[in-house]
């Protein structure tokens, strides 16, 4: 192990040169004029995998951009990690806001700037080098590793789900490892173990069969905008709880351990509200703001429209009003069931004065990897060794659909070992990765493979 770490520490110059080459390929997946570059990048990934000692390297064609897979299965009896990442990047516009050219990696201060440096080439590269360090020094890895690196993450991973379904055997492993997220903040390593799900709804309220003159008809007809507003307002009670019957039934409660861990986070509500420009925070009573964002389900009205919204005055009593409403979900809520509860609830409370239509637009499940699972324990131990600091536990309020797909199709939990920082401009001009995190990430990855063998035994698969 010591050999591996010293090797990582003494090859930094070379790593930066190789990463610069990886980052110089403009693999912008959303722009077809870059299709050649995206393909070239898949080839670069495959060549790199061969160079570091991965075997069975294959480039799979898809209806979109290729998927690159490889494996090293030389540790019988040891767990198998499925490492997922992506080699495609976001467009670079607006180009004039970049301080240095986006595909020419440039170091300024403690950061390396380039498109893809944090999201996700830099983080994928961290693992390439951790693997290489083992191969060069020990001739083997402490665990088995499979890699799946796709080229369509930034455009919604349209072909990934089918690929995973069609290659279950190829991808068969014990847990998924993803490095495509951020640490809690600079100098504060963290392991992310939970993501929220989503149920997205559209509501249409119809009153009279056409728009009416508000002078002639106002006072005799229930205005659909008013009726819709009343419905939406009633979806939260005075304690900020969602009033939909059964909404909280399947919610997995926060454990004492989690709540204690969140309390220890270096977090200030005051600073948070100041940054957001709000006078006061709002949310479900009885929970801290981090708990509400990470581990409690919520309901938001995303848009509401109807009637006249143009310049000046028009005295109309509209025929229709609409709203888009989303619900962020937590384990063990199911998006289909929540969508049904939502519709049932609205239909039950809707006044007789209007007609109501509810449509479910889109849904996805929440994901959680228990913090006492071997994968998370190994991540915590590895982060502590890699960064010399005890890491914190965190969740994310958003969703990563691929995590749910790996769970549903392959039955695998995911460990999210992110080495980015929340302010590294992923998707924006001047994207960068902090070099301390980059090299600390390599040490952490190397330790993770090793630590996993320690925690995996104990019959705790």
Taking the least distance from each CB to Zn ion, the nearer of 180 and 258 is 180
Work out the angle at residue 12's Cα, subtended by the Cα atoms of residues 7 and 16, and round it to the nearest 5 degrees.
140
Shortest approach of Zn ion to residue 257 CB, angstroms?
29
Taking the least distance from each CB to Zn ion, the nearer of 258 and 431 is 431
Site string for Zn ion, 68-97 (x = CB under 5 A): ------------------------------
Establish if 180 lies at the interface with Zn ion (CB under 5 A): yes
Shortest approach of Zn ion to residue 401 CB, angstroms?
12
| Cβ neighbours of residue 92 closer than 8 Å, sequence gap 6 or more | 26, 28, 98, 102, 103, 115, 429
Taking the least distance from each CB to Zn ion, the nearer of 144 and 181 is 181
Taking the least distance from each CB to Zn ion, the nearer of 71 and 119 is 119
Contacts 24+ apart (CB under 8 A), 434-438: 434/110, 434/111, 434/186, 435/107, 435/110, 435/111, 435/112, 436/110, 437/183, 438/112, 438/122, 438/126
Taking the least distance from each CB to Zn ion, the nearer of 180 and 343 is 180
Shortest approach of Zn ion to residue 195 CB, angstroms?
14
Shortest approach of Zn ion to residue 86 CB, angstroms?
6
Distance separating alpha carbons of residues 394 and 386, to the nearest angstrom: 18
> In this structure, what token pair is assigned to residue 46?
């495959």
Shortest approach of Zn ion to residue 425 CB, angstroms?
13
Task: Give strand pairing partners of 199.
Answer: 327, 363
Roughly how many angstroms between the first and final C-alpha of the chain, as a whole number? Answer: 24
Taking the least distance from each CB to Zn ion, the nearer of 37 and 120 is 120
Binding window for Zn ion (CB under 5 A); candidates: 41-49, 117-125, 269-277, 405-413: 117-125
Distance separating alpha carbons of residues 3 and 9, to the nearest angstrom: 10
Taking the least distance from each CB to Zn ion, the nearer of 155 and 410 is 155
Binding test (CB under 5 A) with Zn ion, winner from 18, 37, 88, 119: 119
Binding window for Zn ion (CB under 5 A); candidates: 59-67, 174-182, 202-210, 361-369: 174-182
What is residue 296's three-state secondary structure? coil
Establish if 152 lies at the interface with Zn ion (CB under 5 A): no
DSSP character at residue 373: S
Shortest approach of Zn ion to residue 87 CB, angstroms?
10
Binding window for Zn ion (CB under 5 A); candidates: 89-97, 120-128, 376-384, 395-403: 120-128
DSSP percent split of the chain into helix, strand, coil, nearest 5: 40, 25, 40
Establish if 291 lies at the interface with Zn ion (CB under 5 A): no
Are the C-beta atoms of residues 211 and 413 closer than 8 Å to each other?
no
Shortest approach of Zn ion to residue 58 CB, angstroms?
22
Establish if 424 lies at the interface with Zn ion (CB under 5 A): no
Measured CA to CA in angstroms, residue 247 lies from 140, 181, 241, 251, 360 at distances of 50, 29, 10, 8, 16
Q: Choose among 57, 53, 50, 92: nearest CA to 75.
A: 53
Residue 72 has φ and ψ, to the nearest 5°, of: -140, 110
Establish if 120 lies at the interface with Zn ion (CB under 5 A): yes
Shortest approach of Zn ion to residue 420 CB, angstroms?
9
Residues that bind Zn ion (CB under 5 A): 119-120, 180
């Amino acid at each position: 192990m010591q050999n591996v770490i010293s090797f990582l520490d003494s090859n930094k110059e070379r790593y930066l040169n190789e990463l610069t080459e990886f980052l110089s390929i403009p693999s912008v997946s959303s722009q077809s004029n870059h299709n050649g570059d995206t393909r070239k990048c898949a080839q670069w990934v495959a060549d790199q995998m061969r160079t570091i000692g991965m075997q069975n390297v294959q480039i799979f064609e898809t209806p979109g951009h290729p998927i690159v897979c490889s494996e090293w299965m030389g540790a019988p009896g040891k767990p198998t990690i499925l490492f997922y990442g992506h080699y495609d990047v976001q467009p670079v516009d607006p180009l004039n806001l970049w301080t240095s050219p986006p595909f020419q990696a440039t170091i300024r201060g403690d950061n390396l700037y380039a498109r893809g440096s944090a999201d996700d080439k830099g983080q994928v590269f961290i693992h390439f080098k951790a693997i290489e360090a083992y191969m060069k020094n020990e001739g083997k890895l402490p665990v088995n590793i499979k890699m799946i690196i796709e080229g369509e993450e930034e455009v919604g991973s349209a072909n990934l789900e089918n690929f995973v379904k069609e290659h279950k055997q190829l991808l068969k492993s014990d847990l998924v490892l993803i490095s495509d997220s951020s640490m809690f903040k600079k100098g504060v390593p963290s392991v992310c173990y939970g993501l929220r799900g989503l149920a997205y709804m559209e509501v249409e309220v119809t009153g009279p069969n056409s728009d009416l003159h508000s002078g002639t008809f106002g006072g005799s007809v229930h205005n659909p905008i008013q009726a819709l507003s009343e419905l939406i307002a009633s979806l939260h009670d005075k304690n900020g709880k969602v009033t939909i019957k059964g909404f909280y039934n399947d919610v997995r409660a926060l454990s004492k351990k989690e709540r204690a861990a969140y309390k220890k986070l270096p977090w200030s509500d005051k600073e948070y509200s100041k940054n957001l420009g709000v006078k006061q925070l709002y949310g479900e009573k009885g929970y801290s703001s981090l708990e509400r964002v990470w581990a409690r389900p919520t309901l938001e009205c995303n848009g509401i429209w109807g009637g006249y919204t143009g310049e000046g005055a028009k005295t109309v009593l509209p025929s229709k009003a609409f709203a888009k409403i989303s619900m962020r979900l937590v384990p063990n809520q199911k998006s289909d069931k929540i969508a049904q509860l939502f519709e049932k609830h609205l239909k039950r409370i809707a006044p007789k004065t209007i007609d109501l239509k509810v449509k479910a637009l889109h849904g996805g499940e929440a994901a959680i990897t228990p913090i006492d699972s071997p994968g998370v324990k190994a991540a915590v131990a590895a982060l502590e060794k890699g960064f010399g600091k005890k890491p914190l536990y965190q969740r994310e309020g958003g969703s990563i659909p691929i995590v749910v797909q790996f769970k549903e199709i392959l039955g695998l939990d995911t460990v999210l070992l992110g080495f980015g920082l929340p302010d590294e401009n992923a998707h924006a001009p001047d994207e960068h990765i902090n070099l301390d995190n980059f090299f600390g990430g390599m040490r952490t990855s190397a330790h993770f493979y090793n630590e996993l063998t320690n925690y995996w035994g104990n019959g705790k698969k």
